[in-house]
Chain A
Amino acid sequence: MIGIVFVISVGAFYLIHLLPGDPAVVILGTGDSPVNKARLYAELGLNRPIYEQYFIWMSHVLRGNLGVSFISETSVWTTIKGAIPIDLELMLISQILAFAAAIPLAMRSAKKPDGWIDRFLSAGSFTLLSVPSFIAIVLLVLFVSIDLAVPHTGVSSYVGFGTDWIGNLESLSLPSVVLAVGSFVVYYRILRSDLIATLQEEYITMARSKGLSQRRIMWRHALRPSSVALLGTAGVNIGGLLAGGFIVQYLLDIPGLGYTLITAIGLTDYLVVQGIVLVVAVGVILINFFFDFLINIADPRISRE
């Protein structure tokens, strides 16, 4: 795991050097004198060998210093710190919604596979799977937001949780629902097929013959053994949302990490891009780690193997 973090840090660092464009040109503009350029290079440490630059950068990063943006001249870490809570909140709300819908509906489907409810839900989830988030947003804005006056656009429409929590939840409702639907589809389909497989096991027949209620069988006996694949997918999916939720944030002007990243790329704000790539990559790894841990709780046999 430390190895992966190391490789990613090298990747995030080197990404900036892979990109065409000269930071000196970004800061000084084109056509400045070579003397000024050389001075700036010395100031930023860009004239040193690249591995030395990496170690200097890494030692700063380990002390929590991601540098100061050329463009806004504020600390990169401050920018990121301001965006992280928004991502966490968005993630939390959308995942709670997704699981709250996926688990009961998957159980309903698995109870009678190929029954009309199952067919309806499967077809519906499959259709939703094919609606990209940006289309969902445009159509939701068109058909729901404008009519119901749900705030949906403009940085000004985003309200912090501390200042006004009702306003905050309102401004996050649309992105949360879009992200939740995307996750729900994936979770529902996986949990449904695993539940169907689990319900054919002998111990379920045993539980049935003991006369346990359907609900108790589902929640106590079938859910846990069926949730290993679900948890694994959820880990990958949430990590993907952290990196891939940018389009939702960008379209709805939610100033989370994705939005900040897109803005920074637009401004060629190298250090902010670098910082966010690093934070997101580490975040993805931590999330996967956390879900591996949950999988081990759900099925302790896996860690013993």
Chain B
Amino acid sequence: MYVQEMIEETALADRPERKKKLGVIFWICVVWIALNLGAAIFANFLPIENPMNQNYALVNAGPSLHHLFGTDDLGRDIFARVVYGSRVSIEAGLGAIFIGFAIGAPLGMLAAYRRGKFDSMLTTFMYTFLAFPAIIATIAILSFWTPRSLLKIIIVIGVASIPLVYRVIRTATLNVATKDYVIAAKVQGATDRRIMAKELLPNVAPIGVAFLLIGIATVVVLEGSLAFLGLSVNPPTPSWGNMINEARTVLQLNPWLAIFPSLAMCLFLLSLNFIGDRLRSHFEVTESKL
């Protein structure tokens, strides 16, 4: 009877592990992101038109073989602009999240590992920072900090993301830092640096990566919002947000101008979110197995 119960319990506990495979859609998303990255990096070498070339003989044309996505109100090739536009979004996303992680992640790990006064002071500071409406501060600073450049956008969003990264990494590290194997390593006399690098980092990293991907998606959306307020890169440099914003004035005349960059952005975000979400659930399962 008792044995029967135990078997049932283990069967129950094993159930979530069924989802261990990442699935086909996950890999489609990875391939899509890789394609996007590749196109953004090698845009100069691809056989596509110059995104700045204006052709007044062919304005607001629909999709055709010659212009896959059609042309905009100045006769520029929408496909080329979507490809070049991805650069701004990807650079903003990667750059800002890099700043956030470069400062927030080490601080979060250190605070969770050391605890004590250092942790409580830093955490109070970060949480107060979080209570402040960061998005308003971002807009205010960007609108007064002229001339605008992508680098400034990256810096402002990056700094604003530090407390968020800090919170996620600190919570994740706290869960690990109290585990037996960390205590065992301490008892064995491992140095703090060794414990952080060998015991904590490998266990915090998966959560960090999942959050990183979702964070990039958030920054891409934010950059798009800024473009709508005219606070992102200056035209004629294409960015997805800029393009959708420009499309608003010719929405009925040329819906393609709104649809294609929107589609590109949504698919990019969808892939990032999906990969992030799948990784998170994947690693949470393995974490509970430890």
Cα distance, A257 to B229, chains bound together (Å) = 15
User: Residue A93 at the B interface, CB < 8 A?
Assistant: no
Say whether, besides A21-B144, A127-B270, A273-B140, A251 and B228 are in contact (CB < 8 Å).
yes
User: Residue B143 at the A interface, CB < 8 A?
Assistant: yes
Cα distance, A246 to B277, chains bound together (Å) = 27
> Which of A27-35, A170-178, A259-267 sits within the interface?
A259-267
Which residues of chain B are within 8 angstroms of A4 by Cβ–Cβ distance? 128, 131
B247:A138 contact, CB within 8 angstroms: yes
- Once A and B bind, how many residue pairs between them come within 8 Å at the CB atom? 110
Cα distance, A274 to B92, chains bound together (Å) = 27
Which residues of chain A are within 8 angstroms of B267 by Cβ–Cβ distance? 130
B265:A8 contact, CB within 8 angstroms: no
One digit per residue, 1 when the CB lies within 8 angstroms of any chain A CB and 0 when it does not, for chain B 145-170 equals 11000000000000000000000000
Say whether, besides A8-B132, A130-B266, A15 and B137 are in contact (CB < 8 Å).
yes
User: Residue A19 at the B interface, CB < 8 A?
Assistant: yes
B141:A18 contact, CB within 8 angstroms: yes
Which residues of chain A are within 8 angstroms of B273 by Cβ–Cβ distance? 126, 129-130
> Which of A51-59, A206-214, A219-227, A278-286 sits within the interface?
A278-286
B140:A284 contact, CB within 8 angstroms: no
Cα distance, A130 to B33, chains bound together (Å) = 14
Which residues of chain A are within 8 angstroms of B115 by Cβ–Cβ distance? none
B225:A132 contact, CB within 8 angstroms: yes
Which residues of chain B are within 8 angstroms of A104 by Cβ–Cβ distance? none
Most-contacted residue by chain B among A135, A139, A146, A242 (CB, 10 A):
A135
B132:A261 contact, CB within 8 angstroms: no
Kindly identify, within residues 149 to 202 of chain B, every residue whose CB is under 8 Å from any CB belonging to chain A: none
CB proximity of B195 to chain A, nearest CB, Å: 30
Give the residue name and chain of the A residue nearest to B143 (CB). Answer: A265
Cβ 8 A contact of B133, one of A135, A262, A277:
A277
Cα distance, A244 to B252, chains bound together (Å) = 28
Which residues of chain A are within 8 angstroms of B270 by Cβ–Cβ distance? 126-127, 130
* Count of interface residues, chain A, beta-carbon cutoff 8 Å: 42
Give the dominant DSSP class at B's interface.
helix
User: Residue B74 at the A interface, CB < 8 A?
Assistant: no
A19:B224 contact, CB within 8 angstroms: no
User: Residue B262 at the A interface, CB < 8 A?
Assistant: yes
A20:B144 contact, CB within 8 angstroms: yes
Which residues of chain B are within 8 angstroms of A130 by Cβ–Cβ distance? 217, 266-267, 269-270, 273
Which residues of chain B are within 8 angstroms of A8 by Cβ–Cβ distance? 128, 131-132
Which residues of chain A are within 8 angstroms of B251 by Cβ–Cβ distance? 138, 141-142, 146
Give the residue name and chain of the A residue nearest to B225 (CB). Answer: A247
B145:A277 contact, CB within 8 angstroms: no
A11:B244 contact, CB within 8 angstroms: no
Cα distance, A247 to B146, chains bound together (Å) = 21
Which residues of chain B are within 8 angstroms of A261 by Cβ–Cβ distance? 136, 139
User: Residue B112 at the A interface, CB < 8 A?
Assistant: no
Cα distance, A135 to B132, chains bound together (Å) = 27
Cα distance, A281 to B140, chains bound together (Å) = 14
Please list 17 pairs of residues, one from A and one from B, whose beta carbons are closer than 8 Å in the complex, sorted by A's number: A3-B128, A7-B132, A11-B132, A20-B144, A130-B217, A132-B224, A132-B265, A132-B269, A138-B244, A141-B251, A242-B133, A251-B228, A262-B139, A265-B139, A273-B140, A277-B137, A281-B131
User: Residue B48 at the A interface, CB < 8 A?
Assistant: no
Cβ 8 A contact of A284, one of B131, B145, B225, B259:
B131
Kindly identify, within residues 211 to 267 of chain A, every residue whose CB is under 8 Å from any CB belonging to chain B: 242-244, 246-247, 250-251, 261-262, 265-266
A280:B269 contact, CB within 8 angstroms: no
